[in-house]
Structure 1
Amino acid sequence: MNNAHTTTKAVASAQRCGRAFVRRVAVCCLFACASLSMAQANSGDKERDAQRIADAQRSQQQQRQDTQRQFEARADEQRRQLQAQQEQNAQNTADAARRGGRMMTPDERRDLRRQINEAGVDIYRNAPRR
């Protein structure tokens, strides 16, 4: 009987030892999987962070380029308007030079009409009758 008891005790001890070993292996596997998933998550975060930074830099650069284009477009428009004004002023000056250099005031026109009437000369011909 002594042998049977020892054998039963050894089997029970072996089973406990085996279960403990299986538990230890399971816990180790669990920790290994957790650490692998953490490592992958961290590397993914770094990649995502790097991607976000690159996207932000591209966005800022695009905004700078857009701002520069808008500034250049406004400057071009202002140059065109200034040039058009200068051309209009030059044309007005040329028209004024053809007309005698300057406009007459109402008093000057009245004096000129009076002088013409005193001289008795018609400046404008009478229109032919139809």
Structure 2
Amino acid sequence: MDPIVASAATALVGAMVTDAWQDVHTALVSWWRRVCPQQADSVDAELEQSRDRAVAAHRERDTDAESELVAAWEDRLAELLGENRELADELRRLMERDIAPHVHHEHVHQDTGNRAGTQEVHAEASGNARVFIAGRDQHIHEP
């Protein structure tokens, strides 16, 4: 899968729970209407349904539901892009300009691709405590 697809899907689902959702939604539907007009209305409706699910998942801290939404949008975007590198480049620009800046970076989504944006983590240990921090999966094996 193209890394931009995974990044865009993750950023899109992250943006669904922000105050900027309407701007992100409008930008994505406008782009979709230009590159694949016959699908734009159904994508518009799917985005609204996905937003309702994302808000509920966020409220309930249901990372599985968020991951399912990311996977669904990865599939949808991958289907649209196919092997068209020009569309992938357009999606990258759209994501960088209109989606990623609105994502709250404290929301962590389990995904299978690259993330857009940055995260800042602070940890403090005292006494004999230890802190383990990872950007993705972490496996610690101790005797």
Report the TM-score when normalising by structure 1: 0.19
Structure number with higher relative contact order (C-alpha < 8 Å, ≥ 6 residues apart):
2
Larger of the two Rg values belongs to structure: 1
Report the TM-score when normalising by structure 2: 0.18
- Structure number with the higher helix fraction is 1
